[in-house]
Amino acid sequence: MIDQPIKSTLAKSKPSNLVRNLQEKLIEFLLFLAASSSVAITIGIIYILISESVSFFQEVSLVEFLTGTEWTPLFADAKYGIWALLAGTIVTTAVALFVAIPIGTISAVYLSEFAPEKLREIVKPCLEILAGIPSVVYGYFALLFVTPLLQRFLSDLPSFNMLSPGLVTGIMIIPFISSISEDSMRAVPASLREGSYAMGATRLQTAWSVVLPASLSGISAAYILGISRAVGITMIVAIAGGLQPNFTWNPMESAATIATFIVSVSLGDLPHGTIEYQSIFAAGITLFVITLITNIIGHFISKRYREIY
């Protein structure tokens, strides 16, 4: 008697089960499509960069591109030597890392090993805000605040130089380096620290000889990801570094980086299909390869040397 309504409900639910399963499969498929869109983006980037620079490399030999130190696309005798741009990129990145690595690491050690919880709660959001300020604002700051400030001490510093945007880029990536390093230091188990304290070490000795070596993989990954971040910084150098390609290793001179070259060409009207148009893709693929390699090395180091506790 009683099971009659149950049976009928069961019977009714059968077709709806089928619908439900179909619906489930459809949703899973749609979600899968969404997830594969990120792969499509990567393929798109690689395809566009390669297809546009292939015609560039038909006119400019790869050897000249990779070894030349002059970049003069607008001259009658146009020269495309990537080192003119690469030198600027390396110099600004080096200046940035010179600032960001020591300050970022010391901040991370201090925040992870010494700072009271209250201070951490205040400082961390401040650092996040520092990382969230648009790069064009940092560019303004480099050109109109830091450069005049530096000129007081270095009287022969031109108003466009690589030192000031490099310093500002360094400050911009401090939060990036310190937060990754700090995460990896905090992942070091307390038992290691306690062992060290039990041997009579101070907090500093523990931080220096126990925590730092134990979190070395995370810290070096932070440095390498910091490099890839600094290499791609565009607007700060575009505003404060001048846009003229200049093969120099002196941070006191003005120069262009790979990224700022792309910006300076895009600022003008550039006809599709010309060699100037293709040259920004050739520069872009160089930048892409550099960041890809540093990212892969960073990934590899953090996996390979990760201590398992």
| Tokens of residue 194, six digits | 């306690």
Long-range CB contact pairs, 259-267, < 8 A, 24+: 259/89, 259/231, 259/232, 259/233, 259/234, 259/287, 260/88, 260/234, 261/71, 261/85, 262/234, 262/287, 263/234, 263/235, 263/238, 264/238, 265/73
Asked if 107 interacts with other proteins (CB under 8 A), we say yes
Q: Which residues sit opposite 72 in a β-bridge?
A: 79
| Tokens of residue 291, six digits | 């960041």
Size of the site for other proteins (CB under 8 A): 86
Angle subtended at Cα 288 by Cα 250 and Cα 81, rounded to the nearest 5 degrees: 50
Please report how close the Cβ of residue 77 comes to other proteins at its closest, in angstroms: 26
Q: What is the DSSP string of 153-193?
A: H-TT--SS-SHHHHHHHHHHHHHHHHHHHHHHHHTS-HHHH
Q: Which is nearer to other proteins, 231 or 255 (CB)?
A: 231
Task: Give the other-Cβ count within 10 Å of 152's Cβ.
Answer: 8
Secondary structure letter of residue 306 according to DSSP? P
Q: Which is nearer to other proteins, 125 or 195 (CB)?
A: 125
Q: In whole angstroms, give the CA distance from residue 181 to residue 183.
A: 5
- What x/- string results for residues 16 through 55 when contact with other proteins is judged by CB under 8 A? ----x--xx--xx-xxx-xxxxxx-xx-xx--xx-xx---
Secondary structure letter of residue 256 according to DSSP? -
Site for other proteins in 191-230 (CB under 8 A): 202-205, 225, 228-229
- What x/- string results for residues 70 through 99 when contact with other proteins is judged by CB under 8 A? ------------------------------
Please report how close the Cβ of residue 144 comes to other proteins at its closest, in angstroms: 6
Which of 79, 291, 297, 307 binds other proteins (CB under 8 A)? It is 291
294 and 228 Cβ atoms separated by less than 8 Å: yes
Which of 157, 211, 280, 301 binds other proteins (CB under 8 A)? It is 280
Site for other proteins in 259-278 (CB under 8 A): 259, 262-263, 266-267, 270, 272
Asked if 190 interacts with other proteins (CB under 8 A), we say no
Site for other proteins in 116-175 (CB under 8 A): 123, 125-130, 132-141, 143-145, 171, 174-175
Please report how close the Cβ of residue 118 comes to other proteins at its closest, in angstroms: 13
Q: Which range touches other proteins (CB under 8 A), out of 60-68, 69-77, 101-109, 210-218? A: 101-109
